[in-house]
């Protein structure tokens, strides 16, 4: 029984240790961004501290092995269980001290994880006196546990629980395995009552954590936002927050980054949509990549000659929110709602017009019931996978992705991706992409243009001031074999007034948006963003650091 208890404990510790590493890496990347850097630093630091923990265990006497291991596991459960919550509270209340707390927690947890393996190896000596057998048995269970822990974290914990809840679940698992080990070796403990009391005490704290996790998390999160949080949800892909100001303005944040504010989102979305729609030779088939909030779709559907719109957004929770949340519905003018709604079979490959698509729903939109309706297909699939597989051609493609603040998003600004978009454009089709700020992130903005050109697109930059974001920019383009940059610029400068209703945009404003300052488009950089060299992400990080230094 004791031998089995050792094996089970090692298996659980290996799984929880890996999951603790992932949880701390995820919460750090959510708070600070730059996920690659955060994951690499956190895991590397934990591995280093595990080595330090292995060294420290040399000072533990043999008679205290069980007591020391149990106490260290109780401490691990306490730190690991409440680590994510502590990091969130410290960042919201004392951001200048966040790094100290973050790396202090990572170091302490890494040390405790490294402490446990040699201690259990020493305990297991009575069952496997041979060093080779002993090490093989312990390390085997540790590595198998690490694999299972990683898989459970990716496919269960990350998918169905917040990082705070995940930490508490891991803490409870750690305590239960420790309690089992203490029960199996109760005759070898120096103070069984004290050990059980410490484990139960931490268990009570973990139970309180489960009970008060939501208000504690909301309290910390609220301090990160100026306005009152009215909605907060973590989907499989991102953390979505809605806030409401005293004047009733709604702001949407994804992973802490502002996506829109209702007071001026119309400026951004009208600039994204209408210049491209106005200069397009045809507007029968329109593709929107990103834009799960339905706001760009709202503007597209103002054009009566649109027959088909395909909206591709990775996160089904976002499109569901945009279709049913009262604040989104009011802002997007019910663009995602329909009287005829059907869901395509998950995983099926189906034909939608000229396009092969996976997963989604189609709706018909006609708010006034006065004209022929446009068919809207909402597809929850990765945009890169979609454009690589789809066989349809589009008259207008609108790209409304978040800024390239992670390596994962940087691929959606790559030469490879723009090459696929060029293939999806009709011969005289028009493509436009949001391109962050030409002022605050100049190198990012210019890199987008260079990368589009390298993919065979003729492009023209334009910009405008969106008060919530500051100076903002877009690149508009067409297939260079059919439409050159000078022709695009001529079309944009000679736009007649249009009948479609806009709150802000006029032909005069479009013409003005084409003008930049003398050196605004001048740079010494010439790198093109690719999948293997995501330089745009590095440009973005540099711009963010510089901007933070000015604030």
User: Could you tell me if 210 and 71 lie in one domain?
Assistant: yes
Position 449 pLDDT exceeds 90: yes
Neighbours of 367 (CB within 10 A): 14
User: Could you tell me if 281 and 184 lie in one domain?
Assistant: no
Taking a C-beta distance cutoff of 8 angstroms, is the pair 238, 254 a contact?
yes
Number of folded domains that form the chain: 2
Angle at 321 between CA 316 and CA 323, to 5 degrees: 95
User: Could you tell me if 266 and 209 lie in one domain?
Assistant: no
User: Could you tell me if 84 and 141 lie in one domain?
Assistant: yes
pLDDT category at 345 given cuts 50, 70, 90 is: very low
Residue 243, domain member (yes or no): no
Ranked by mean pLDDT, the top range of 27-31, 341-345, 386-390, 421-425 is 421-425
pLDDT category at 363 given cuts 50, 70, 90 is: low
User: Could you tell me if 343 and 395 lie in one domain?
Assistant: yes
Domain boundary among 185, 218, 251: 218
Please give the order of strands across the beta sheet that includes 470-479: 342-343, 361-365, 374-379, 308-312, 285-290, 394-400, 425-434, 470-479, 457-466
Position 115 pLDDT exceeds 70: yes
User: Could you tell me if 207 and 265 lie in one domain?
Assistant: no
Taking a C-beta distance cutoff of 8 angstroms, is the pair 313, 378 a contact?
yes
Select the more confidently predicted residue: 2 or 77: 77
Residue 246, domain member (yes or no): no
Domain that holds residue 420: 259-515+525-550
Angle at 409 between CA 311 and CA 462, to 5 degrees: 70
User: Could you tell me if 162 and 296 lie in one domain?
Assistant: no
Residue 422, domain member (yes or no): yes
Position 550 pLDDT exceeds 70: no
DSSP string, 453-506: HHTTEEEEEEEEEETTTEEEEEEEEEETTT--HHHHHHHHHTPPP-SS--SS--
User: Could you tell me if 386 and 489 lie in one domain?
Assistant: yes
Position 117 pLDDT exceeds 90: no
Taking a C-beta distance cutoff of 8 angstroms, is the pair 243, 229 a contact?
yes
Catalytic residue among 67, 142, 395, 400: 400
400 is catalytic: yes
| Short-list 393, 388, 395, CA closest to 305 | 395
Listed range (53-62, 203-212, 245-254) with the worst mean pLDDT: 53-62
CATH number at residue 92: 1.20.1250.20
What's the rounded mean pLDDT across residues 149-177? 94
User: Could you tell me if 212 and 313 lie in one domain?
Assistant: no
Q: Over the range 315-329, which residues count as b (16 or more CB within 10 Å of their CB) and which as e? A: bbbbbbbbbebebbb
Q: Over the range 375-392, which residues count as b (16 or more CB within 10 Å of their CB) and which as e? A: bbbbbbbbbbebbeebeb
Select the more confidently predicted residue: 284 or 29: 284
Listed range (256-260, 372-376, 435-439) with the worst mean pLDDT: 372-376
Residue 58, domain member (yes or no): yes
Q: Tens of pLDDT along 215-237?
A: 999 899 899 899 999 999 888 88
Residue 294, domain member (yes or no): yes
Listed range (29-43, 104-118, 131-145, 316-330) with the worst mean pLDDT: 29-43
User: Could you tell me if 366 and 476 lie in one domain?
Assistant: yes
Residue 228, domain member (yes or no): no
Residue 248, domain member (yes or no): no
Which sign, positive or negative, has the C-alpha torsion 404, 407, 412, 413? positive
Domain boundary among 218, 249, 271: 218
Q: Look at phi and psi of residue 456 and say left if phi exceeds 0, alpha if psi is from -120 to 50, else beta.
A: left
- Nearest-angstrom CA–CA distance, 109 and 203: 18
- Nearest-angstrom CA–CA distance, 437 and 403: 10
Residue 25, domain member (yes or no): yes
Q: Tens of pLDDT along 54-107?
A: 999 999 998 899 999 999 999 999 999 999 999 999 998 898 899 999 999 999
CATH number at residue 400: 3.40.50.150
pLDDT at 95: 87
pLDDT at 375: 86
Q: Tens of pLDDT along 486-541?
A: 999 999 999 998 877 899 999 999 999 999 999 999 999 999 999 999 999 999 98
pLDDT category at 440 given cuts 50, 70, 90 is: very high
User: Could you tell me if 212 and 278 lie in one domain?
Assistant: no
pLDDT category at 342 given cuts 50, 70, 90 is: very low
pLDDT at 159: 83
Task: Give the largest Cα separation in the chain, rounded.
Answer: 90
pLDDT at 175: 96
| Short-list 256, 245, 205, CA closest to 95 | 256
pLDDT at 300: 95
Taking a C-beta distance cutoff of 8 angstroms, is the pair 337, 374 a contact?
no
What's the rounded mean pLDDT across residues 308-331? 93
Long-range contacts of 369-373 (CB under 8 A, 24+ apart): 371/304, 372/307
- Nearest-angstrom CA–CA distance, 429 and 118: 65
Domain boundary among 188, 218, 248: 218
* pLDDT mean across residues, the chain: 88
The SS3 call for residue 342 is strand
User: Could you tell me if 336 and 452 lie in one domain?
Assistant: yes
What's the rounded mean pLDDT across residues 447-464? 97
- Nearest-angstrom CA–CA distance, 248 and 302: 25
pLDDT category at 348 given cuts 50, 70, 90 is: very low
């Amino acid at each position: 029984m004791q031998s089995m208890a050792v094996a089970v404990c090692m298996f659980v510790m290996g799984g929880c240790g890996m999951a603790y590493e992932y949880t701390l890496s995820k919460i750090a990347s959510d708070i600070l961004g730059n996920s690659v850097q955060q994951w690499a630093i956190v895991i590397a630091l934990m591995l280093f501290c595990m080595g330090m923990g292995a060294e420290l265990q040399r000072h533990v006497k043999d008679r205290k092995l069980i007591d020391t291991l149990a106490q260290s596991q109780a401490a691990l459960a306490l730190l690991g269980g409440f680590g994510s919550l502590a990091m969130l509270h410290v960042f919201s209340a004392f951001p200048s001290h966040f790094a100290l707390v973050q790396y202090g927690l990572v170091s302490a947890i890494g040390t405790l994880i490294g402490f446990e393996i040699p201690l259990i190896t020493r305990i297991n000596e009575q069952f496997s006196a041979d060093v080779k057998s002993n090490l093989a048995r312990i390390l085997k269970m540790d590595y198998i546990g690490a694999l299972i822990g990683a898989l459970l974290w990716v496919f269960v914990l990350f998918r169905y629980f917040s990082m705070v809840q995940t930490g508490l679940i891991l803490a409870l698992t750690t305590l239960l395995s420790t309690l089992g080990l203490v029960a199996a070796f109760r005759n070898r403990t120096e103070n069984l009552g004290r050990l059980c009391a410490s484990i139960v005490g931490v268990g009570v704290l973990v139970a309180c954590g489960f009970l008060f996790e939501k208000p504690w998390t909301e309290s910390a999160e609220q301090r990160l936002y100026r306005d009152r949080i009215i909605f907060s949800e973590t989907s499989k892909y991102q953390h979505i927050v809605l806030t409401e100001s005293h004047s009733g303005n709604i702001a949407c944040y994804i992973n802490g980054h502002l996506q829109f504010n209702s007071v001026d989102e119309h400026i951004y979305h009208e600039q994204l949509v209408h210049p491209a729609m106005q200069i397009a030779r045809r507007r029968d088939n329109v593709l929107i990549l990103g834009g799960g909030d339905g706001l760009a779709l709202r503007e597209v559907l103002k054009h009566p000659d649109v027959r088909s719109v395909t909206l591709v957004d990775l996160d089904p929770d976002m499109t569901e929110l945009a279709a049913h949340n009262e604040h989104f519905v009011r802002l997007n003018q019910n663009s995602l709602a329909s009287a005829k709604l059907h869901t395509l079979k998950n995983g099926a490959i189906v034909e939608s017009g000229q396009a092969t698509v996976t997963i989604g729903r189609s709706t018909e939109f006609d708010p006034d019931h006065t004209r022929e309706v446009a068919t809207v297909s909402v597809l929850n699939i990765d945009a890169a996978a979609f454009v690589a597989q789809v066989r349809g051609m589009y008259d207008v493609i609108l790209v409304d992705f978040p800024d390239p603040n992670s390596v994962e998003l940087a691929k959606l600004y790559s030469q490879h991706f723009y090459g696929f978009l060029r293939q999806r454009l009709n011969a005289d089709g028009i493509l436009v992409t949001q391109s962050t700020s030409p002022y605050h992130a100049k190198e990012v903005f210019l890199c987008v243009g260079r990368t589009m050109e390298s993919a065979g697109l003729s492009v023209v930059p334009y910009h405008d001031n969106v008060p919530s974001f500051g100076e903002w920019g877009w690149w508009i383009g067409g297939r260079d074999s059919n439409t050159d940059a000078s022709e695009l610029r001529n079309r944009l400068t000679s736009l007649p007034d249009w009948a479609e209703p806009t709150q802000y945009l006029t032909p005069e404003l479009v013409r003005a948006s084409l003008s930049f300052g003398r050196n605004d488009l001048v740079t010494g950089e010439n790198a093109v963003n690719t999948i293997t060299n995501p330089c745009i992400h590095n440009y973005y990080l540099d711009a963010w650091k510089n901007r933070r230094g000015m604030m």
